């Protein structure tokens, strides 16, 4: 008699795999002057991160964050602001509705909104704690990130006293080559599409990098050849592999697929 496959067993193997993968990354992070922990689920991570912030940042301290689908999905940014214990610099509160996001398209911010946002980006560099995600993290414990304006990668490299990097294990890659491919082929197309939506006219199409249409990089990521578009989301790229300040960067790996 033909037996039905044990689908639950197949599904349940992923947490084991992610835990092993994260263990290797965290071991190498510690060799690289950083630190990290593994948390099995997003639900547990939301609670744990809040507790960590309570221990890390005194009441009245300053917290800020970079743009991150992972952090938004977790709900932790809402928790931190609702708590009322800290001064929270929300760099994106001046652009709140989908209509405004479409008009702004991040790379076409209105002059007033851009001025306000840049002031907050600069203020975030003086925060006691900065939360962000990462575009990719290698098995050797190297963080690879791309930005358009550079506010997020700047804060990761220097400024805030402490940086929490929160990421799903789906962002773990083998090496730098795979990290660059992930940034260009996975992250950038989705980010541009999310921020810009669809062009509303032929005239608007010129503002959109090729990846927003193709769903992949318009260049050759492994050869570090970009599409050359002035509004590409990967205009600045950083590699963080061994910072000099011990344990300033703390990576929180979550055993789920989060963000992109």
Q: What does the longest C-alpha to C-alpha distance in the chain come to?
A: 71
Alpha helices in the chain (DSSP H): 7-31, 42-56, 69-74, 76-83, 98-104, 111-124, 151-157, 176-182, 188-196, 202-205, 211-214
More confident residue, 113 or 26: 26
Question: What's the pTM value of the predicted model, to 2 decimals?
Answer: 0.88
99-103, 157-161, 242-246: range with lowest mean pLDDT: 99-103
- The residue written with tokens 């990089």 in the block is 217
pLDDT at 99: 45
pLDDT of 167 > 80? The answer is yes
Residue 38 CA: distances (Å) to CA of 27, 167, 188: 11, 10, 26
pLDDT at 168: 98
Task: pLDDT band for 107, please (50, 70, 90 cuts).
Answer: very low
pLDDT one-digit tens code per residue, 198-225: 777 777 777 788 777 777 877 776 555 6
> Residue 201 corresponds to which tokens in the numbers above?
């006219």
Taking all residues of the chain, what is their mean pLDDT, rounded to a whole number?
87
Given a contact cutoff of 8 angstroms between Cβ atoms, the answer to whether 181 and 223 are in contact is no
Q: Which residues pair with 163 in a beta bridge?
A: 130, 249
pLDDT at 106: 47
pLDDT of 83 > 80? The answer is yes
**Percentage of residues of the chain with pLDDT beyond 70:** 86
Picking from 260, 257, 259, the residue whose alpha carbon sits closest to that of residue 14 is: 257
Q: Name the DSSP class of 104.
A: H
Find which of 96-105, 110-119, 151-160 is predicted with most confidence, using mean pLDDT.
151-160
Could you tell me the domains of the chain? 9-254 (3.40.50.10420)
Residue 7 CA: distances (Å) to CA of 4, 19, 119: 8, 20, 51
């Amino acid at each position: 008699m033909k037996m039905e496959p044990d689908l639950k067993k197949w599904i349940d193997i992923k947490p084991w795999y992610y835990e092993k993968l994260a263990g290797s990354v965290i071991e190498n992070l510690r060799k690289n002057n950083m630190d990290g922990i593994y948390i099995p689920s997003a639900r547990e991570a939301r609670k744990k991160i809040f507790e960590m912030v309570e221990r890390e940042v005194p009441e009245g301290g300053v917290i800020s964050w970079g743009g991150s689908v992972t952090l938004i999905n977790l709900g932790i940014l809402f928790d931190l602001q609702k708590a009322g214990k800290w001064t929270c610099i929300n760099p994106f509160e001046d652009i709140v509705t989908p209509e405004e996001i479409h008009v702004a398209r991040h790379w076409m911010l209105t002059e007033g909104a851009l001025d306000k946002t840049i002031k907050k980006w600069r203020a975030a560099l003086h925060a006691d704690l900065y939360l962000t995600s990462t575009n990719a993290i290698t098995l050797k414990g190297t963080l690879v990130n791309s930005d358009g304006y550079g506010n997020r990668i700047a804060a990761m490299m220097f400024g805030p006293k402490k940086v929490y990097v929160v990421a799903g294990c789906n962002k773990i890659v083998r090496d730098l080559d795979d990290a660059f491919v992930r940034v260009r082929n996975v992250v950038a197309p989705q980010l541009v599409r999310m921020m810009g939506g669809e062009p509303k006219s032929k005239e608007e199409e010129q503002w959109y990098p090729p990846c927003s249409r193709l769903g992949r990089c318009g260049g050759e990521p492994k050869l570090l050849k970009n599409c050359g578009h002035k509004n590409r989301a990967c205009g600045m790229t950083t590699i963080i592999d061994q910072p000099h300040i011990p344990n300033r960067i703390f990576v929180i790996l979550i055993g789920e697929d989060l963000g992109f």
